[in-house]
Amino acid sequence: MPLPGFGLRLRESLVETLALARERLGLDRHDIAAEMGRLDPEREISKAMLDRYCAPSAAEWRLPAEALPALVRVTGDARCLHLINEAAGYRAVPHEAAAIAELAAIELEERALRERRARVQRMLPREAADFLREASRRAARNG
């Protein structure tokens, strides 16, 4: 994704996020700012700041990246986060989806190791393969 115009796309995403929070959750910008401040007391966020971040005439005002986690948690909308990640060539996924992907990767690695083991075992002389199988059975029995 080319980066020119990224600031405008991010501003538009923020406007959409805030509009959807109002529509779906009944939260106006005052509510969102207050809840963001509650979640992140070290960061001051006001309705006026949210207005400024959304205003086309205030291009120099940008929502700080540090405020994104609170914005996503309050609104339930991760579009700004997704836009930033996609611009950097990444994707953001919920923890559960990441865990599923990691388990799938482990399964693929295990399958590749089993296939590699089978290829190497086929290269062994029969006596050596029999010896290794028996040693493996003994080790399994002795725990």
d(CA 22, CA 64): 21
Q: What is the pLDDT of residue 16?
A: 94
All structural domains of the chain with their residue ranges: 6-87, 95-142
Residue type present at position 140: A
- The neighbour count for residue 61, using CB atoms within 10 Å, is 13
Residue 112 has phi, psi (to 5 degrees) of -65, -40
Q: Over its length of 143 residues, how does the chain's per-residue pLDDT go in tens digits?
A: 556 778 888 899 999 999 999 999 999 999 999 999 999 999 889 999 999 999 888 878 888 889 999 999 999 999 999 999 988 888 888 889 999 999 999 999 999 999 998 998 888 888 888 888 888 899 889 87
From residue 124, alpha-carbon distances to 72, 98, 107, 127 in Å are 57, 39, 26, 8
**Can you give the pLDDT at residue 112?**
97
| pLDDT of 2 | 55
Q: In 3D, which of 73, 76, 82, 72 has the Cα closest to residue 25? A: 76
**Model pTM score:** 0.65
The identity of residue 91, as a single letter, is: R
